[in-house]
Amino acid sequence: MSEKLVKEIPPKSEDISKWYISVIRKADLVDYAPVKGMMVIKPAGYAIWENIQKILDKEFKKTGHTNAYFPLLIPESLLNKEAEHVEGFSPEVAWVTMGGSEELEERLAIRPTSESIICSMYSKWIMSWRDLPVLINQWVNVLRWEKVTRPFLRTTEFLWQEGHTAHRNKEEAMEETLRIINIYKNFIENVLAIPVIMGKKSDKERFAGAVETYTVEALMPDGKALQAGTSHYLGENFSKAFDIRYEDKDNILKYVHQTSWGVSTRLIGGLVLTHGDDNGLVIPPKVAPTQVIIIPISRGNWKESVLPVAEKVKETLENEDIRVKLDEREEYTPGWKFSEWEMRGVPLRIEIGPKDIEKNQVVLVSRVDREKRFISIEKLVDEVRKFLDDIQNSLFEKAKKFRDEHTKSTEDLEEFKKYMKEGRGFIKAPWCGDEKCELKIKEETTATIRTIGEEAKEGQKCIICGKPAKFVPFFAKSY
RNA sequence: CGGGGCGUAGCGCAGCCUGGUAGCGCACCUGCUUCGGGAGCAGGGAGUCGGAGGUUCAAAUCCUCUCGCCCCGACCA
């Protein structure tokens, strides 16, 4: 899209941060709250989150999960039970120390994540192999005292879902961990139209308290990677710390194997960054709160001629469960409305004017590239569906093309550094598996291991130490 | 948490260096004409200059502290 019609949005290519802030605020997704790092998710933004919830929740239910709610406050003693977990999270925990004017005997953590409180309950609930698996999810807010914040991408408080499951053995827990990360991958790619790389985290990048962390990583237009979702195999780490045991068929008491997994409102930030352009937001049809905006062309006696047709079109689409709005406001010109709804990211526009009425047609216009399709009113529903599908696909293809073009392979550190300086992106480079080399790469290039990638081939050498490589990770600078 | 930048009307900014009547564009309100890519004209409303101290006859402007936002690092979904 060449023409820039929306004023006050700085070009995405020039300063993506300014662009990002400007778009989310102009599209009315978010506002800053009075407390540092906290945001108000406004109706337009929350509607996207509701659609994310609706679609993901269905997937969780389909795979046997149920929702519950665990408390916001976690006693310090519980949080402290799993050593690695505390160490990982304690720097960013906010504490409640007063109740009214009384100082509390034990301070209470505002949940940064809920493993500890949920495990403390699981230890009461799980007795027998017949109680397993436990497959519980909750949609809640969590709080992490972050030093650097950005709306959606990293906020002090954020909304997410966290699944916490308990299983009889490693195999079942591992299967669950992978089932979930695949649900995330499919959702993020098919619904949010953001291509991701799926894989395992290195020991250093792993979730605090986990045995293995699986992640889906998306590449943003500035070449930085966004961790979009994670699924952890917790092994027996928490069950041992919280004494979650069950009596198995063989009469032996065993520790459960657990998983936990989550995606957050960060996904909205990823969506904005990935698809937006100089005219504002672009929301993929499958999550768009409004998929179609109808703009009647207000000329002459349009209220008698055009408006009734527009209303009929709206009704027809509504009956087909297409999320549609009609902008019949008189105080704005059609041109203004075009720009306004483009900025808000509505993927498909229908223009209906006097000329169209004569020809018994309507004009469909894509948000992505302003492609116009003139279609006869009889074919409305099919054509709208088809166009929405095309837009959904083209957004994914466009993002995938960018991702692929910004994924490079190298076995040379200098070339690695050069890639990081010019344009950035994912870089695949062989690594021996040693954390020291991982740290060295970060120091030299600012890139970290996003996923450890596939196993190295015979003869590939670590880019730092030159010893035989174990893996070929995806490196990138991260959000 | 370190380095840098910025807080002036809803949004974007000028004014600050060199203290002396708070300004511009967009948005908003009223009216008329407009309307197939952010319409034109005329009139109008709106700001304790982020906050608290201090210097001064006088502070948006100078000094100190503080809060917040943005960028770059370290840390993290």
Residues A187 and A131 in one domain: yes
Asked if residue A2 has pLDDT above 80, the reply is no
Nucleotide nearest to A477 (CA to C1'): B73
For A34, counting Cβ atoms within 10 Å of its Cβ (0-12 exposed, 13-18 middle, 19+ buried), the class is exposed
What pLDDT does residue A215 have?
97
* Cα–Cα dist A247/A274, whole Å: 49
Q: Is the pLDDT of residue A149 over 50?
A: yes
Neighbours of A19 (CB within 10 A): 23
A357 occurs within a structural domain: yes
Q: Considering all nucleic acid strands, name the nucleotide whose C1' atom is nearest to the C-alpha of residue A306.
A: B36
Task: Tell me how far CA of residue A136 lies from CA of A81, A185, A262, in angstroms.
Answer: 21, 20, 12
- Kindly list the distances between the CA atom of residue A46 and the CA atoms of A163, A259, A317, A357, A451, in Å, as whole numbers in the listed order: 21, 28, 23, 36, 30
Query: A63-104, pLDDT tens digit by residue?
Result: 999 999 999 999 999 999 999 999 999 989 999 998 888 899
Please state, in angstroms and as integers, the Cα–Cα distance from residue A291 to each residue in A313, A318, A341, following that order: 14, 11, 11
The gap between A36 CA and B51 C1' (Å) is: 15
**Is the domain of A262 the same as that of A298?**
no
pLDDT recorded at residue A312: 97
pTM: 0.96
What's the pLDDT tens digit per position in A348-404?
999 999 999 999 999 999 999 999 999 999 999 999 999 999 999 999 999 999 999
Nucleotide nearest to A343 (CA to C1'): B38
Domain assignment of residue A397, yes or no: no
Domain that holds residue A447: 407-476
In angstroms, how far is B65 C1' from A112 CA?
A: 33
- Whether A96 and A225 map to the same domain: the answer is yes
- Round and report the angstrom distance from CA (A378) to C1' (B36): 22
Nucleotide nearest to A157 (CA to C1'): B77
Residues A318 and A435 in one domain: no
A360, HSE (Cβ side, Cα atoms, 13 Å)? 4
Is the pLDDT at A3 greater than 50? The verdict is no
| A361 and A231 inside one domain | no
Q: What is the pLDDT of residues A394-451, one digit of tens each?
A: 999 999 999 999 999 999 999 999 888 887 899 999 999 999 999 999 998 999 999 9
pLDDT at A34: 83
The CA–C1' separation of A34 and B67, in angstroms, is 10
Which bases in strand B are touched by protein, i.e. have an atom under 7 Å from a CB? Answer: 1, 11-12, 25-26, 34-39, 67-77
In chain A, how many domains are there? Answer: 3
CATH code for the domain of A48? 3.30.930.10
pLDDT at A7: 60
ipTM of the complex: 0.90
Task: Confirm whether A398 is domain-assigned.
Answer: no
Strands (E), A25-124: 30-32, 39-41, 66-67, 73-75, 94-99, 102-110
d(CA A442, C1' B15) / Å: 45
